[in-house]
Amino acid sequence: MDKIRIVGGHQLNGSLPISGAKNAALPLMIASLLTDETLTLENVPRLRDVAQLTHILSNHGVDYSVNGKRVGEDAMTGQTVHLNASTIVDTTAPYELVSTMRASFWVIGPLLARMGQARVSLPGGCAIGTRPVDFFIDGLRALGADIEIEGGYVNARADKGLIGNRVAFPKVSVGATHVVMMAAALARGETVIENAAREPEIADLAECLIGMGAKIEGAGTETIHIQGVDRLTGHTHRVVPDRIETGTYAMAVAMTGGDVMLEGARADLLESALETLRGTGAEITATNSGIRVKRNGSGIAPVDVRTEPFPGFPTDLQAQFMALMTRAKGTSRITETIFENRFMHVQELARLGADIHLDGQVATVTGVETLNGAPVMATDLRASVSLVIAGLAAQGETTVNRVYHLDRGFERLEEKLRRCGAEIERIAAS
């Protein structure tokens, strides 16, 4: 497996482009199943998860093509993809495909809405928690679907189509909100989703669906109203910038010092995280071209953080922020409320010299004067990039193993950091 080698101690300076959001691109790609016309998505990141979902969608009969290189584009410019599901040839999503990516379970909503049936494997467990699909199933049942679970598969039918209804989630779920919203777009009558997820990726999907002819109001709030339509059409949509990538690189600058323009980033997508970063002593300035992050070398101030659904501090930035707090001048407390097993990076950060004490879902981080490079092991996507951030500030050499996790969610990470002055390289498996 590939490794990433980092020699710490270099400030980051310059500009760094922000890619399209993986967490927006995946549901947008799945939405192609809702129409027999072509859905064109711009600013799609080149990631392992995107490639894997392409393979999964092709199993259902979706044709996929990518624009060739254009004048002015470079390797870090998002790609334009065209998805056409004019003929759905298979409504089964098998275990061997769904097990590789949890988000692929979401095809159940569009397949059921358009074809009246779907057979989708249960996705199984996850490194950061179980993340059950009960809310997905209950939401689709509320829309009139007959659902049975047998042999590890969810068998769903709606022979006469889905019917709009009230869907009230007992707990905020981004995935379930995506699925029910897509399914309701083709249901008869009105659907009201209560306690809906408010993440920007929900609003981005709704914007695309509206462009395809859906009637949706309230996306980005706790209550979404959807008036079902008979069919959806093709559309061209640009994927929203990745707020998690934005926050990750902003924390890398805060960790190392320096001055970096995050090109194309939008401050409105992560205001809570940026405000938290300001509390650590970083200067954050939103501009027309992106977000400028600067730290002049003064100490990092400790800040307490509690992860929450949007608009709160994102769980997907918790590991990165913990890495930053390992160098703070004082003690911080980080409380994880979203996933029950998202502190696996703690032991690896400790290998670099971090002082972290765990008590249930609370991590107490006492900043240290220096981190020291060491071999570390990535355990999941966000944990792996937290080790990169720590390595950028550690003395000596850090080697991050199992970096295939990084390739799932960060486009050309080494190249982006290297152009800002980091000493970082990928070592290919021999």
Q: Judging by DSSP bridges, how do beta strands 12-17 and 258-263 pair with one another?
A: parallel
Give the Cα separation of 238 and 110 in Å (integer). Answer: 20
State the binding site.
22-23, 102, 171-174, 316, 338
| Dihedral over Cα of 411, 417, 419, 424: its sign | negative
Number of CB atoms found within 10 A of residue 345's CB? 28
With beta carbons less than 8 A apart as the criterion, state whether 344 and 338 touch: no
State the binding site for UDP-N-acetyl-alpha-D-glucosamine.
102, 171-174, 316, 338
3-state secondary structure 17-79: ECCECHHHHHHHHHHHHHECCEEEEEEECCCHHHHHHHHHHHHCCCEEEECCCCCCCCCCCCE
DSSP string, 293-357: EEE-SPPBPP--EEB-STTSB-GGGHHHHHHHHTTBSSEEEEE--S-TT--THHHHHHHTT-EEE
Q: Which among 51, 89, 126, 168 is annotated as catalytic? A: 126
Question: Collapsing DSSP states into helix, strand and coil, what is residue 175?
Answer: helix
State the binding site for phosphoenolpyruvate.
22-23
Residue the block writes with tokens 């990092």: 300
On the 0-12 / 13-18 / 19+ scale of CB atoms within 10 A, 170 is exposed
- Examine the residue annotation and report whether 208 is marked as an active-site residue of this protein: no
**CA-closest candidate to residue 50, choices 78, 16, 18, 89:** 78
For residue 375, whether the previous peptide bond is cis, meaning omega lies within 30 degrees of 0, is no
Determine the distance from the C-alpha atom of residue 130 to the mean position of all C-alpha atoms in its chain, rounded to a whole number. Answer: 17
Give the Cα separation of 166 and 385 in Å (integer). Answer: 40
Q: 18-34: buried (b, 16+ CB within 10 Å) or exposed (e) per residue?
A: bbbbbbbbbbbbbbbbb
Give the Cα separation of 69 and 75 in Å (integer). Answer: 9
**Catalytic site positions:** 126
